[in-house]
Chains A and B, each alone.
Chain A
Amino acid sequence: MLFLRDYGDTEVGGFGIAASDDLLFVEDIQLVKQVCSWAHVAFDDESVADFFDRQVDAERRPEQFARIWVHTHPGDCPRPSMTDEETFERVFGRADWAVMFILDCEGQSYARLRFNVGPCAEVEIPVGVDYSRPFSATEPDTWEQEYLANVHAEQLRRGMASTLEPVLASPFDEEPTDAWYESWFDYAAEEEEAEELIL
């Protein structure tokens, strides 16, 4: 996480991969394709879906790979912003539980665990390194490759549109057709009508 934070000038984010026997023990950080600036990070939706596919193929459960959302703040404040709170609510508020972890430039961190079932509590949790667990050697070359493959700085995007376009391209092999839009539009409209009837 420190390596990823310090490699570039921008925010960077990913998912914490937890041990199967301790879901709050993060064994690895995995990046997805993202567009970042000093103040913002946005994951690529298709890359998130690919990440889920890869993790399931590796026989991990969603609670091991999709519950700990991590990102950095290049400034000196690890407190969540409005955008962070909105994402934590909208994306991670539907899972039974989730953690938002933020690491700032000076090494301060913030972690909050939320439970969305039962009494639906939220609590800030301490962060530490567990040296009692075995850990593999550092792999800066691998980390660098992962960083370069996934993290695309926003200012580069403007100047290198052709190189980075695939990162933000539509998740379709071909452009979505009118029929595709209509099928989901009709479905959503039916849902709303049903909701109104219930109300």
Chain B
Amino acid sequence: MKILVINNDGGGFADYVDVADGTTVAQLFERQIGSTKPSHYLIRVNRQPCPADQVLCEGDRISITPTKIEGANS
């Protein structure tokens, strides 16, 4: 089945990918991001935060976006 994946790591990604039926959010995260800790990201499915074991469905949009973007001047 096809799902839309959005993330900025590596070359950046915003495209449909084929995943096996029954793929969970955690499995997809591992495939896209590898070993980086999930706590460094906000992971949403169809614009809603999701549990790691949520099973993805055809047409889902999963976004893996950075968190804690902070600047300071001193």
Give residues in A with beta carbon < 8 Å to B: 11, 13, 38-43, 45-46, 48-50, 52-53, 56, 61-63, 66-67, 69, 71, 73-75, 77, 81-84, 86-87, 90-92, 94-96, 102, 171-173, 176, 179-180, 183-184, 186-188, 191, 195
Contact = CB atoms under 8 A, between A and B. Distances in A.
A94 B67 CA distance: 13
A62 B44 CA distance: 17
Contact of A187 (B4, B12, B26, B63): B26
Interface of B: 4, 6-14, 26, 35-40, 42, 44, 47-49, 51-53, 61, 63, 65-74
A52 B12 CA distance: 11
Interface of B is mostly: mixed
Contacts of B66: 48, 91-92
B8 to A, nearest CB: 4
A173 B73 contact: no
A13 to B, nearest CB: 5
Contact of A39 (B44, B68, B74): B74
A2 B4 CA distance: 36
A156 to B, nearest CB: 18
Nearest to B4: A56
Given A56-B14, A94-B10, A180-B49, A188 B65 contact: no
A94 B9 contact: yes
A25 to B, nearest CB: 17
Closest 5 CB pairs of A and B: A62-B12, A83-B72, A183-B51, A73-B73, A187-B52
A48 B6 CA distance: 12
Given A61-B14, A171-B44, A191-B35, A91 B51 contact: no
A183 B37 CA distance: 14
A39 B70 CA distance: 11
Contact of B9 (A69, A84, A95): A95
B6 A56 contact: yes
Nearest to A75: B73
